[in-house]
Amino acid sequence: MKFRFLLWMLGLLMVRASRRNPAFQQQLVGKDLVFQLQTTDGKVARHYVVRDQRVSSHGGTVPSPAFAISFKDAAYGFATMQAKNKQLAFMQGIQDKNIQIVGNTGLVMWFQGLMKYLQPRKKK
């Protein structure tokens, strides 16, 4: 349940950033794609549509996303996406075959770059 909520919240944050954050919008220029995050068994899945410098989020899978990131299970996906060092957690998961990437790996790197725009602002 936590992983499902995390994917939904990620969508909400990306939708909001695509409307309000000029730096985030700049990262979306020229992108027209669909990507998804899911568990390997597909029981928990969410896809995200990037079009016209906007992001929308929808439950479920699509037949042919530009890339898909599959986690071995929901608990592992939640732990990986909440890790302090997310990049290290992803790399370790890929090496251990707990995370599978299907599709354009260059776009996965682009997606990971988007995440820095979704971090909460630090109070001064």
Q: How many domains does the chain divide into?
A: 1
Q: Looking at the domain assignment, is residue 28 inside a domain? A: yes
Return the pLDDT at 121.
62
CATH of the domain at 39: 3.30.1050.10
Cβ–Cβ under 8 Å, residues 54 and 21: no
Q: 112: closest CA among 72, 65, 79, 80? A: 80
Determine, yes or no, domain membership for 56. Answer: yes
Q: In this structure, are residues 84 and 51 in contact, taking their beta carbons and an 8 Å threshold?
A: no
Taking the C-alpha atoms of residue 106 and residue 46, their distance in angstroms, rounded to an integer, is: 20
Domain membership of residue 14 (yes or no) is yes
Task: Answer whether residue 59 is part of any domain.
Answer: yes
Range of the domain at 57: 2-118
- On whether residue 123 sits in a domain, the answer given is no
pLDDT in tens, 28-53: 999 999 999 999 998 999 999 999 99
4-27 pLDDT tens trace: 999 999 999 999 999 999 999 999
The beta strand positions in the chain, using DSSP E, are 33-39, 45-51, 54-59, 67-71, 99-103
In a domain, 37, yes or no: yes
In a domain, 47, yes or no: yes
Look at residue 103 and tell me if it is in a domain: yes
